Each structure stands twice: as C-alpha cells, then as structure tokens.
Amino acid sequence: MLLSMNWIGDFVDLSGLDKRSLIHNFTLSTAEVEDIIVKGEDTYGVIVARILSVENHPTSKKLHLLKVDTGSGVVDIVCGAPNVREGMRVALATDGGAVQGHKIAPATIAGFTSYGMCCSEAELGISDDNSGIWEITDDIPLGTDIKSVYDVDDIIFEVDNKSLTNRPDLWSHYGIAREFATITGRALTAPALVSLSDFDTLPPVEIDVRATDLTRRYSAIKVENITRRVSPVNMRIRLYYCGSRAINFLADLTNYVMMELGQPMHAFDNRRVDKIEVQTFPRGLKFVTLDGIERNIDDRMLMITSGDEPVAIAGVMGGDASKIEDDTTSLLLESATFDGVSVRKTTTRLGLRTDASMRYEKMLDPELCSLATARLLSLLFECDGGARVISSFTDAYVNRYPTITLNFDKRYVDRYTGIDISSDTIVTTLTALGFGVVRSGDDFSVTVPSWRATKDVTIKADIIEEITRIYGYDNFEIFTSESALLPVREETEKTVEDRIKDILVASYRMHEVHSYIWTDEAKCRELGIETAGGMRIINAQTPDHQYIRRTMIPTLLSVVKENRGYADTFGIFEIGHIVDGVLENGYCNEKKKLGAVIFSRTESEESVFLRARDAALEICRDILHKSPEFVSASEPYSFMHPKNSFDITVDGVKVGYLSVPHPTVNKNIDKKCAVAFVELFIESLAATPAADIKYSEPSRFPAIDIDLTFTADIGAVSFTALRTAALGASALLNDCSVRDIYTGEDGTAALTLRFSFLSKERTLTKQELQPATDAVAEALANLGLTLKV
Amino acid sequence: MKDRIEQLRSDFEAALGSATDASELEALRIAYLGKRGHIAALMQGLREVEDKKTAGQLINSLKTEVEDRIKNADEALRRAAVDREIREAKKYNPTLAFPREMGSYHPITLATREVEEIFRTMGFTIENYAEIVDDYECFEALNIPKHHPARDMQDTYYLENGQLLKTHTSAAQNAIMKKYGAPLRAIFPGRCFRNESTDACHENTFFQMEGMMIDEDISISNLIYFMKTMLSEVFKRDVKVRLRPGFFPFVEPGFELDINCAICGGEGCPSCKNSGWLELCPCGMIHPNVLEAGGIDTERYTGFAFGLGLTRLAMMKYGVKDIRDFNSGSLKALSQFKSR
C-alpha cells in the first residue's frame, strides 16, 4: 500500500521531524516499509501562466507558436499540444526550472526559440494524463509557483501489505497517522466531519438486510444536485500518488475516503438504485460488474439488490447497470461492513480482488461506516456547494462486536518483557493508540478501541505487543534466562539416522540425496515400475505427483538413472518418509526409511549386491551390535528381482530388505549396468534394543584354525544355520567364518570355512582336534555340505 | 712378550682393514677373541713372563681395543648396508593419485547438523517429527482460525484422508509440548511443503527448523539474547539483531528478526536491498492459546519460539543460487558437499 506523508500530515503535525527517520521508526514499531519515493523533488520553476495568443507554425502541422503571459512579462513558447487555446491558463516550466529532472532552457524548435514548456499533468508527474497540456481552472494569480498551491511535493512510502494483514485499522492514512502520532508523541487531529444527526428528520432509505449472518452493518444516505464532475487538483494528486487513477468526482470521492479512513464506500446512481436489500441467491445468477465482465454468482456470494434486482457484489464490486454516469446528479451512498471471511471466499471464487475486498478481508471496524459517511459528506459540501442530502442516515447495524476490556498489572508486563517499562509509559502509549486506560497504582483496566477489537486485540498478551513495539525493541536491555540447567534428552531415532549417514558416507562413499515425498509416476513408467496408488494428495500440481511414496527405492532408482553418466560406480542414499497404508483411525501409517542404491558399470551384479549387503550388515552391527539375518523375501515388490530379493531381520523382526532390480527395471536404468539396493526401517532399528557389549577374558592358550572346503549349493546355504550347527557339534569350536566362495565354470561350487578351535584350559592337541573336526564336518553334511577330500 | 703383543696388534690392524663383510668380521672376532684365539694364546703365555702384572695389563688393553674396533667395524658395516637399502629403495610418488570417489552429505544435513550442535551445547533437545500431520497440529493448535488464508488449498497439500503435508515445522509444537511439558528447550528441524510452483527461489518441498524455550518468566529480553547468541554462532560473527513487529497467529507479540548484512556491514547493498538488514527468521512469544493447547500453565510459564529456514540458510552458507538444486538428485551438484 502506498501512503502519502502530506495526507498523514492532515492528521498529525510532523513539522520539524526528519521524515525518513520517521518512516524508519515506523518499520521498527508498526510495519515494514519497502520503499520510499520522493515526489516533486526534481520539478521546480513551474508557474501558472496564461496563453495570450496561438499561432500555427508555418511548416509543422503539430506545433503552435504561443505568446504566454507569466504575470511578469510575455514569453515565446513553441508547443506541440493539441489542446492549446487562447486565454487558457497553463503550468509553464520556465527557463532555469525543471520537470521531473528535465532541465528547462531556451531551445530552438523547428526554427523558433521556445523560452519554456507548457506541461501536461503526466510531464509534471501528477497523473498519467498526457493527452494535452494541463488546463488550470483554479483562480490563481499568474506567476504563482504551482508548488505553492498544489501538493506536487510529497514523500510516498510503500508498506508491505502482508505485514498489515492483522491490522484493518492500518489500511488508511488516518490509521497510519495514529501510529505516527504515538511514535512521535504528537497529537492526532480528527478529520472534518458533518453531523449525521442533522439529517434525522429526513425520510429514511429503505434497507432490508436479509443475510444477517454475513452482514454486520449496512448504512446508506441519499444526496442530490451534485454538479461537480472533476475532483480538486490536490485530491487527484493524492489519489494518483497513492496508486489510484482519478475517474470522476464521485468515484474519486469514495476512493479518497476509503484511502483516508479505510472504509470502502459505493455510490449508486439514485435513478437506478432507490432502496437496498442484502441477500444471497440460492440458485446463483449471472451479473455484469462495472468493469463490463459477466460473472457467475453462486449461492454463497452476498449480493446487494434493489427491488431484488442485483446491483453489486457485496464488498467486492458494483454492477455495470447502476454505476455513476456522466450525467449522474443524485446518488445512494453505501457505507457497510460485510463478513470478512465471506468476502474473501467470494473474491477467491470469482478471481476478483479489489481495494474494497482487500480491506473487508481484514475484518473492518463497523464503527467506520458512519464516520466515513460523515467525512464524505464534509468533503462533498466543501467541493460542491449545491449538493443536498435528501434522506436520513439510515443504519442497519445488525451485528455489533462486543466491547473488550482487559485487566492486567505491571508485574504481568515485566514478566513478558524482562525489563522495566514504567506504568506512566504504559498509560501514555496505550492512550495514544486509542485504548481507554483506567490505572490504579500498577493495575490497569484497558478498553480496546473498536478499530482494534474486530480480531486483533482480544487477550492481554496482545497488549504486550502494543507497549513493547512503541517502546522499541532496539531499546531493550537483553539478558540470558535464569532457567535451570537440565540434561538434554536424546532422540534414539535421530542418533540412528546420523550414524547411518556417517557409515554410508565415510565407509561406503555414498552420496546423500533428497527427493520428493510423492512418487513421480512418469519416471516410474520410464523404469517400468508399476506404483499404482497409495495415499492420494487431492490437490497435487500434476496427476503424476498425486500419490505419496510407499517405498524409497523407485524414486532413488530414477535418481540413479539420471546420474548414470556421473561415474562408473557410485552409490546414493536418502532417509525419507513414506506412507505404508493407513492406521485404524484412518491416519497415514507414516514411516521413516533409509533407501540406498549402488550402481556400477564395471563390477558384477553379485559384487554390487554384496556391497549393499555389507552396508546393511555394518549398520545393524554398528547400531545394534547384532548381525541381521537375510532370508528370501516373502513379498518382494514388483521392481525387485524375484529370486535375489531378501528380507533383513533382526531378532526375527523385519527391519528392511536387500535386492537387485527386476531384470526389466535393470535394463531400463541402463543397458549394461549392475544395480543393488537396500531399504532399512529407521523406526524398527531404533526400537530394537542394542545388545550390551559382553567382555570375555581372552584365552592364554593359542587358537588353532582349520580351513575346510565343502561342495555346496551356495544359493541354498544359510550361514547362520550352519554356524549354529557347527558350534553345536563341538564344545572346542570357538568360531566359524567364511574364507572363500568358489564357483567353477561348470557350475560346481565350493565353500571354504575357517573353524577356530580354542580351549581356555590348555593348548589343544592333534588327538583332540581330529574328532572335533570330524564332528563338525558331519554336522554340516546334514545341512548339505560335502567335505572335499 | 711385549713384542708379541705389538706384533699381534699390527696383524689385527691389517686383518681388520681387509675384512669387508659381516662374515669376515665374525671370523676375525673368533680368531682373536675366541676361546682358542690369539689373545687367549697370549694369556696362556703369561705363565712364562716375570712381570705378569704389566704384561697382563697390556694384553687386556689389547683385548679391549680389539673388541671396540670389531664392534665399531660391525656398526659401520650395518650402517653401510642400511644406506645401500635406502639408496636402492623405490621412490614413491604421492602426487599421482587415482581418482577415488568420496561420499557426500546433503547440504541440508550439513547445515542442520551445524545448527543442531550449537543448540545441543545450549541445552536444547533435538526432536524428529512426522511430515504428515492433521489440521489440529498444523493450524488449530497454533491459534490459526478456521478461515485463515493459510489453510487455503493453494498453500497446503491435503490428503484424501483429511490429513495434510505440514506447511511449517510449527506443526510439531503441540505434540512436543505435550510430550515433555514445561520447562522445555527443544529444536525440531523438518521438511515442509507448500503447494506452489517452483522457480529458482521457490520450492514446494523445503526445510525449516523450529525452536522453543519455555520456562517460568521467559521474556522478550531473553528471546533477543538467545537469538543473538545463536545467530552469532551460526554465522561465526557477532551479529546485530533487530526485531520488527510481525504477525503470526501462534505468537504474541510476534516479530520479524533481521540481522545486519554481512556483505556490506550494514551500509546497504543489493543483497540487503540497500537496507543494511537481512530478514532472517520469524519469532515471538508463544501465544497463550498455543501454550494452553499444549497443556502448559500460562499463569506460570511463558516461552518463545522461532523458525529458521534451513534451506535458505544452506543457500546463504554455500552460495547456492537455485533452490531446486537441493532436490534435483544431481550428483554433479550434491557430491561437492564432502564430509567434514
């Protein structure tokens, strides 16, 4: 929103104060100022002058040669404007002056010397009208500097609209002036008003508010015999500087009052609108707004009608049929408060946001209705002496906000601020902001002014902000708290996540990536992965992004595919959230999972697979001090290899899976590549108790290692099973580990195991070892391992 | 006798001079110092000498000399052998390294860990939270009224079961208050979602970090102190902070916190839009309605809360210009963030 310092100056005397530092303080105490624009600074030496004679240029069709009376002499001017006329009073930029930075000096134009320039309003920067030179109609002596009568000089500042969302009172110059008055400690002067009660004896306007739930107040008054068509220059300049084009006197007047007091007003042509109903239409209708566009009105949109004929969308825009025409002389003036939420929803559905609707959305103070009417009439009478009120001020005040009174003491303020703001300062600040303050010692009883009571200030904590922002946060002394020092509570899940990242980055040289929580169906199709469904986002940006992912892997396979040119071999991982169906209460069963994928062009699939296995193994051993089990997957996803997919379990609980891709998916990643992946369930890992570290006294006697090679069906062997069997077969066997796996070209396979025999009492002898070894080999034979001799 | 001793000494000199390796030296040692060696033989001869004492001394001195000389020669030979080994050793070249992939953390992880570490040292618990929440957690418990624009479809992703993707980390406030009660110091980083189109400055998926401190008599003064201390640690300089009024339904009073621009030092430059200040994080005193919803006694406790844009922080920290790089999955971009 653009604000004029001149306009603010109508209500608070800021003379002698530096405007820029005032605006800076406004940022710190009220709302953020985004820009400051100084108007008129580079325009000077422009005076009121009169055209004495107009002569056509001998050769140019456009140019005229003028003699212009400056009040102190006559000068020659060459002018290209189409509207020059003898006797016309104009704004003349004189030799040595400037218009918007453009310096004026005698110049030869098409063979004739011009000693100045007759200016258009656009050239002076006071409107966008560049159709011709500005005709000055006010009675001002020739030679008068236009700046001494017109407010060309001004400082305009722009406040971020977003920072005003909670302050309906600040959508007006008067409201902003109240802030300046409070910040500077100067007095706030009320605008000139007429007394509405003067019209009480006149007949009322017929008003029928039928939609009382969506209307707070609807007031109207009728005026006739308005003859003025063009607004006063200073009014037009202010409107233009604040971002609104001048239209005609009546439209300008309602805009002016809205910008001054924040109350949107609507002027209906009284010939077309003589009475008012406020209602909704259950079946909707079509309605042409004053911008000429036909709009679909639905059953929830509040409408203003006259004799049931729609004439305006309440709080948004008037209708084309009842708008002010050039010959309008009598009007019905609406000043109303509609429900802010209803107005906002209407604008959203229509895709039509106006200066009026923006203000209603913020929850306007209904008290403004009468104030704005009184102000508008005052301005009207000032500008058009013949205008006459012909109805009473008719007021349907159907929903009043309650008066809010808040009680608190200084201790409450001290506790919130942490510093000592005096009771006197509290009273001064709140009084200046319009609060009614009753103080008794350090106890306060505060009445919230109507313009703050619509939603902004409702509880005593809200009062703290009023006191502190005016006190100034820069003036706060800052202290650390006196809170007790307590041990930090550690989150297991967080620790598990951090550890997993460290292991994968440091030991497996993987890269952490981030992807989206939704499945990218298009990318999955490219890989030949069917994802079909899941929890649906009802307002996804594209249908391909509407399902929340159920597993990490498909997205990560896409990421791998996109990076396949990055290196011959690489790994990626992400810890992210997925949704695994819904819980009993219908809520998402949200889980956090690690997904890790290894890609290689140079290594065999088995070696890539085993590295993925190692990563899973190491994570489990590191975090849980337990070795996981790998068993053929019970229900592999469709993108997994039906044969080489495994569930990872710890203590019998599934904590993840390990797999290579389905051959079809693999080929879609790249024609020739090896890929393997692992998914681990973070919550399951965090919930599994870690094994304690158990210390066992090392034997003082040497262990004896014996390597034995067996022929075996490698794919069918479970190491855990054979280790358990071996350890059960001999009490002297201390450990058993894999030494070598050999697969011959003819398909034969051999497994070499190392058996470590150990006694804590003695050095083992050959005589003891032979039977122990035989027992172990026999136990393994039962599991399908044949000892090679 | 004396002559024999001198003869033996000069014979030894000659023999030692011609011994060139360890085995010759060992043979020499046995020949002179062995049980049947020359010096032992001299000792045998002592019986025939009158002045036994003098002769004995001379022999002993010869023996000591021979022992020393052999020991020295042996050491010299060993040194020479080591010198030769060094001379003949292969010269390695550490400059010719084969490229070997390093792992990398996501920049968000690095930035988050750094901030977490700072808060951990200040006694804050680090909390995880869900990404899918309900209307109560995301809005109602945070004093955001039913018809607030923030709830509109254009900002929030709604799910078919009525839940939604959390639009801010504040959505965890209520649950964390209920979990721990007061006093409480916690931060909770997390991923947030806003239904908007993406460009270099906007992402629909981004990270924030929320923090809360609740205790008896926590004040605005404390808030400024903590924010200044924390941000000075994050930016590794003594930052100046500035509070401006800011409106967020879940705090009262609410602030926009600015820090002085590091690039121009507060003079004004394009990075700070000539203001000398950078808007960094919204914060404020937790609204009494929010504390109450979290089961905290507002007569006894007050608290502050703040939000920090982790994605934005990572962009500032690493000079990332396009926010979309973070979720691109592109290893050309992400592999640059090596482990610390």
Secondary structure of A251-268 as H, E, C letters: HHHHHHHHHHHCCCEEEE
A484 contact residues in B (CB cutoff 8 A): 183
Closest CA to A731 of A701, A785, A771: A771
- Nearest residue of B to residue A545 by CA position? B157
Query: Regarding the domain delimited by B107-334, which CATH topology (the fold level of the hierarchy) does it fall under?
Result: BirA Bifunctional Protein; domain 2 (3.30.930)
Structure-block tokens of residue A293: 């566009």
Most confident among A248-262, A317-331, B36-50 (mean pLDDT): A248-262
> For A704-787, which CATH superfamily applies?
Ferrodoxin-fold anticodon-binding domain (3.30.70.380)
The rounded distance, in Å, linking the Cα atoms of A605 and B287 is 57
Read off the amino acid at residue A424.
D
B108 contact residues in A (CB cutoff 8 A): 514
Residue A789 has pLDDT above 80, yes or no: no
Interface test with A, best of B116, B214, B244, B330 (most A CBs within 10 A): B244
Closest CA to A361 of A376, A370, A348: A348
- Nearest residue of A to residue B131 by CA position? A577
- Phi, psi at residue B22, to the nearest 5°? -65, -35
Structure-block tokens of residue A734: 């201390």
| Interchain pair B159, A537: CB under 8 A | yes
The DSSP symbol for A31 reads -
| Interchain pair A477, B215: CB under 8 A | no
Quick check: helix, strand or coil at residue A180? Answer: helix
User: What is the 3-state secondary structure of B222-240?
Assistant: HHHHHHHHHHHHHHCCCCC
The rounded distance, in Å, linking the Cα atoms of A659 and A551 is 13
| Interchain pair A30, B245: CB under 8 A | yes
pLDDT at B101: 81
- Nearest residue of A to residue B106 by CA position? A512
pLDDT at B339: 65
Q: Which of B158, B161, B224 sits opposite A478 (nearest CB)?
A: B224
Closest CA to A313 of A321, A322, A304: A304
Give the DSSP H/E element, type plus range, for residue A671. none
pLDDT at B153: 63
Contact B206, B309 (CB under 8 A): yes
Q: What's the whole-number mean pLDDT along residues A174-183?
A: 97
B315 contact residues in A (CB cutoff 8 A): none
pLDDT at A381: 97
Interface test with B, best of A24, A361, A512, A562 (most B CBs within 10 A): A512
Contact A395, A369 (CB under 8 A): yes
> What are the tens digits of pLDDT across the range A83-115?
999 999 999 999 999 999 999 999 999 999 999
Contact A517, A576 (CB under 8 A): yes
Q: Which of A165, A459, A489 sits opposite B125 (nearest CB)?
A: A489
Instruction: Report the sign of the C-alpha dihedral through residues B262, A31, B227, B191, in that order.
Output: negative
- Write out residues in chain B with pLDDT < 70, as ranges: 150, 153-154, 339-340
Written as one string, the DSSP assignment of A196-249 is GGGGTTSPPPEEEE--TTSEEEEEEEEEE-----S--HHHHHHHHHTT-----H
Domain boundaries, chain A: 2-40+155-184, 44-152, 196-397, 405-475, 492-687, 704-787
Alpha helices by DSSP H, chain B: 2-18, 22-33, 38-45, 52-88, 107-121, 135-138, 173-180, 220-235, 288-293, 310-318, 331-334
Interface test with A, best of B188, B205, B216, B247 (most A CBs within 10 A): B247
Query: Regarding the domain delimited by A196-397, which CATH topology (the fold level of the hierarchy) does it fall under?
Result: Phenylalanyl-tRNA Synthetase; Chain B, domain 3 (3.50.40)
Pairing of β A569-582 and β A511-512: parallel
Give the DSSP H/E element, type plus range, for residue A107. strand A107-109
Quick check: helix, strand or coil at residue A293? Answer: coil
Contact A289, A313 (CB under 8 A): yes
Can you list the positions of beta strands (E) in A696-788? 704-711, 733-743, 749-757, 786-787
Q: State the smallest CA–CA distance between residue A458 and chain B in angstroms.
A: 11
Cis amide leading into B253 (omega within 30):
yes
Interface test with A, best of B98, B118, B131 (most A CBs within 10 A): B131
Q: Does domain A2-40+155-184 have CATH number 3.40.50.1000?
A: no
Q: CB-based contacts of B274: which residues, under 8 Å, 6+ apart?
A: B268
- Give how far Cα B165 sits from Cα of A539, A540, B106, Å: 11, 11, 22
Written as one string, the DSSP assignment of A617-630 is HHHHHHHHS-PPEE
pLDDT at B19: 83
CATH code of the domain occupying A405-475: 3.30.56.10
Residue A660 has pLDDT above 70, yes or no: yes
> For the purposes of burial, counting CB atoms within 10 Å of the CB of A566, is it exposed (0-12), middle (13-18) or buried (19 or more)?
middle
Q: What's the whole-number mean pLDDT along residues A160-182?
A: 94
| Interchain pair A465, B185: CB under 8 A | no
Residue of A202 and A247 predicted with greater confidence: A202
Domain A492-687: CATH architecture, name and number where available: 2-Layer Sandwich (3.30)
pLDDT at B264: 82
Instruction: Report the sign of the C-alpha dihedral through residues B167, B172, B173, B178, in that order.
Output: positive
> What are the tens digits of pLDDT across the range A405-417?
999 999 999 999 9
| Interchain pair B162, A535: CB under 8 A | no
CB pairs under 8 A, 24+ apart, for A251-257? A251/A324, A253/A376, A253/A379, A253/A380, A253/A383, A254/A333, A254/A376, A255/A355, A256/A231, A256/A379, A257/A372, A257/A375, A257/A376, A257/A379
| Interchain pair B222, A590: CB under 8 A | no
Written as one string, the DSSP assignment of A381-447 is HHH-TT-EE-S--EEEE--PPPP-EEEEEHHHHHHHHSS---HHHHHHHHHHTT-EEEEETTEEEEE
Instruction: Report the sign of the C-alpha dihedral through residues B85, B86, B88, B90, in that order.
Output: positive
- Phi, psi at residue A451, to the nearest 5°? -75, -10
- Nearest residue of A to residue B244 by CA position? A28
Please report, rounded to a whole number, the percentage of residues in chain A having pLDDT higher than 90. Answer: 90
Residue A485 has pLDDT above 90, yes or no: no
pLDDT at B151: 76
Choice among A215-219, A570-574, A712-716, A749-753 with the minimum mean pLDDT: A712-716
pLDDT at A726: 94
Q: State the smallest CA–CA distance between residue B104 and chain A in angstroms.
A: 5
| Interchain pair A488, B120: CB under 8 A | yes
For residue B160, count other CB atoms closer than 10 A to its CB: 11
Q: Which of A497, A505, A582 sits opposite B339 (nearest CB)?
A: A505
Residue ranges matching CATH 3.30.930.10 in chain B: 107-334
The DSSP symbol for A714 reads G
> What are the tens digits of pLDDT across the range A264-288?
999 999 999 999 999 999 999 999 9
A417 contact residues in B (CB cutoff 8 A): 219-221
Q: Does domain A44-152 have CATH number 3.40.50.920?
A: no
Query: What is the tally of helices (H) and strands (E) in chain B?
Result: 11, 9
Residue B311 φ/ψ region, left for φ over 0, alpha for ψ in the -120 to 50 degree band, beta for the rest: alpha
The rounded distance, in Å, linking the Cα atoms of B282 and A32 is 13
Contact A336, A314 (CB under 8 A): yes
Residue A707 has pLDDT above 90, yes or no: yes
Please give the interface size between A and B, counted as residue pairs whose CB atoms are below 8 Å apart: 228
Q: What's the whole-number mean pLDDT along residues A715-736?
A: 91
- Phi, psi at residue A243, to the nearest 5°? 90, 15
Q: Same CATH topology for A2-40+155-184 and A405-475?
A: yes
